[in-house]
């Protein structure tokens, strides 16, 4: 009797081919799962660094003589009112200048630069800085309206403090 010849792979080759087919199946499933949700035309999300939330700017009509912070809170100022603002940081900034930007918030939702970032001197070793100006001067420079104030450290792209306030013209009695 003649020897019978096997057709196809031997037992060792069959095992190897089985494992290769399983690995290929896992790769195909991983590819399909990875593509889920990535529809054509939609941008692929990219991680972005987390920007810390800006500190609040405190507005008021006076400065505390002890700690230097704005007191008598208000975010609405009339002609003749004192206009004060302050920021308390977790630690002293280590710089002696900040940049203050003022943006007019228009009623139609647009924004207009009222004051480009301008240098203001501060005490580098104090965690608090504060300023007082006359509302009359602000009304003359920018007019009545709602404004956003953004404060930056030199060289920073994002503000470290931000707030909003409103300047109101006092109507003239007739």
Confidence (pTM): 0.69
Do 57 and 162 contact (CB within 8 A), yes or no?
yes
Confidence (pLDDT) at 154:
94
Residues in the chain, pLDDT under 70? 1-49, 51, 171-174
Instruction: Give the chain's domains with CATH numbers.
Output: 55-168 (2.60.40.1930)
Task: Give pLDDT, residue 49.
Answer: 66
pLDDT digits (tens, 9 = 90+) for 6-17: 566 666 656 655
Strands of the 70-73 sheet, one edge to the other: 70-73, 58-63, 82-88, 128-134
Q: Given this model, what pLDDT does residue 52 score?
A: 79
Please state the length of the chain: 174
Q: How far apart are CA 127 and CA 75, in angstroms?
A: 22
- DSSP letter at 41 equals T
- C-alpha angle with apex 75: 92 to 97, nearest 5 degrees? 30
């Amino acid at each position: 009797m003649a020897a019978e010849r096997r057709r196809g792979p031997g037992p060792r080759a069959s095992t190897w081919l089985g494992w290769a087919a399983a690995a290929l199946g896992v790769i195909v499933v991983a590819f399909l799962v990875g593509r889920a949700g990535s529809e054509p035309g939609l941008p692929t999300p990219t991680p972005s660094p987390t920007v810390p939330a800006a500190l609040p700017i405190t507005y008021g009509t006076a400065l505390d003589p002890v700690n230097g912070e704005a007191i008598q809170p208000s975010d609405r100022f009339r002609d003749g009112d004192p206009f004060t603002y302050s920021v308390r940081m977790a630690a002293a900034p280590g710089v002696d200048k900040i940049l203050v930007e003022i943006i007019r918030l228009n009623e139609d939702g647009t924004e207009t630069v009222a004051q480009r970032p301008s240098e203001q001197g501060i005490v580098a070793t104090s965690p608090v800085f504060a300023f007082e100006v006359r509302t009359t001067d602000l009304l003359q420079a920018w007019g009545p309206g709602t404004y956003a104030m953004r404060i930056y450290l030199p060289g920073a792209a994002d503000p470290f403090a931000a707030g909003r306030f409103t300047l109101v013209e006092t109507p003239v009695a007739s």
